């Protein structure tokens, strides 16, 4: 499992991941071989690489698998898709429709794409059911009113933090203290750009 964790960490930085030539393990020692710099010393132009995020999406002819996403699940139900663990099953004729929704919500259909980072302030408009979302990506969720908030692997708290409880017993919710700022890294650039355009004040508040 250690080598898989190293791969995850490398994938969190596209520029580094793009330069990886090989990862080997010998007698407990993990060696990462990187491409040399070229020309005037600048590294080769980064290319899209699979990240922890994009690797978690799988689209097939009649099924799709993603991290749990309330917006996506609600949409799948609306087109008549059914759950057959661990995937959602839809009609073969709906594949391109599903692909379009994946790109809209997640910024990818599982294909490696350019990723970026963003800082922003949380807001109630980002809540869907018991989670806080950026597009289709769940950033944080709470299973019960008094349980701790579960964070995604691509989120970091820059300031403030989560409140110890939120919502009600029937409808738990993610809540935060005043002045909380969040940094998200490694999500597809297109979905981050759409978020920035839709919620400019949340972004500017976190960077002021």
C-alpha angle 15-19-24 in degrees, rounded to nearest 5: 125
C-alpha angle 31-48-1 in degrees, rounded to nearest 5: 35
What is residue 26's predicted lDDT score, i.e. its pLDDT? 52
pLDDT band at 23 (very low <50, low <70, confident <90, very high): low
What is residue 30's predicted lDDT score, i.e. its pLDDT? 46
In the chain, how long is the greatest CA-to-CA distance?
61
Range with the poorest average pLDDT among 24-33, 37-46, 198-207? 37-46
**What percent of the chain is modeled with pLDDT above 70?**
72
pLDDT at 37 over 50: no
Q: HSE of 201 in the Cβ direction (CA atoms, 13 Å)?
A: 2
The mean pLDDT value for 13-31 works out to: 49
pLDDT at 40 over 70: no
What is residue 204's predicted lDDT score, i.e. its pLDDT? 76
What is residue 55's predicted lDDT score, i.e. its pLDDT? 75
| Contact indicator for 129, 167 with CB cutoff of 8 Å | no
Range with the poorest average pLDDT among 20-24, 59-63, 78-82, 115-119? 20-24
**pLDDT tens across 76-99, in order?**
999 999 999 999 999 999 999 999
pLDDT at 64 over 80: yes
Cis check: omega of the bond before 86, within 30 degrees of 0 = yes
pTM value? 0.75
Give the residue extent of every domain in the chain. 2-34, 54-106, 115-206
pLDDT band at 52 (very low <50, low <70, confident <90, very high): low
Spatial separation of the C-alpha atoms in residues 91 and 93, rounded to whole Å: 5
Strand ranges of the sheet holding 87-89, from the earlier edge strand across to the other edge: 58-59, 63-65, 87-89, 82-84
Can you state the angle between helices 95-106 and 189-198, rounded to 10 degrees?
A: 60
pLDDT at 1 over 80: no
Range with the poorest average pLDDT among 11-25, 42-56, 153-167? 11-25
The mean pLDDT value for 179-208 works out to: 90
The mean pLDDT value for 10-38 works out to: 49
* Sign, CA torsion 114/95/55/194: positive
């Amino acid at each position: 499992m250690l080598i898989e964790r190293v791969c995850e960490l490398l994938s969190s930085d596209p520029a580094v991941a793009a330069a990886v030539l090989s990862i080997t393990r010998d007698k407990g020692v993990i060696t990462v071989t990187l491409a040399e710099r070229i020309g005037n010393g600048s590294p080769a132009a980064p290319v899209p690489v699979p990240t922890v995020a994009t690797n978690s999406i799988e689209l097939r002819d009649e099924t799709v698998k993603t991290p749990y996403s309330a917006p996506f699940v609600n949409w799948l139900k609306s087109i008549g898709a059914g759950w057959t663990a661990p995937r959602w099953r839809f009609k073969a004729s709906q594949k391109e429709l599903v692909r379009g929704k994946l790109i809209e919500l997640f910024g990818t259909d599982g294909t490696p794409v350019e990723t970026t980072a963003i800082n922003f302030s949380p807001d109630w408009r980002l809540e869907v059911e018991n989670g806080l979302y950026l597009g289709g990506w769940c950033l944080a969720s709470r299973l019960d009113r008094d349980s701790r908030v579960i964070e995604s692997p691509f989120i970091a708290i820059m300031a403030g933090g989560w409140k110890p409880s939120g919502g009600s017993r029937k409808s738990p919710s993610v809540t935060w203290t005043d002045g909380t700022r969040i940094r998200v890294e490694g999500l597809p650039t297109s979905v981050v750009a759409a978020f920035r355009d839709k919620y400019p004040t949340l972004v500017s508040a976190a960077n002021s």
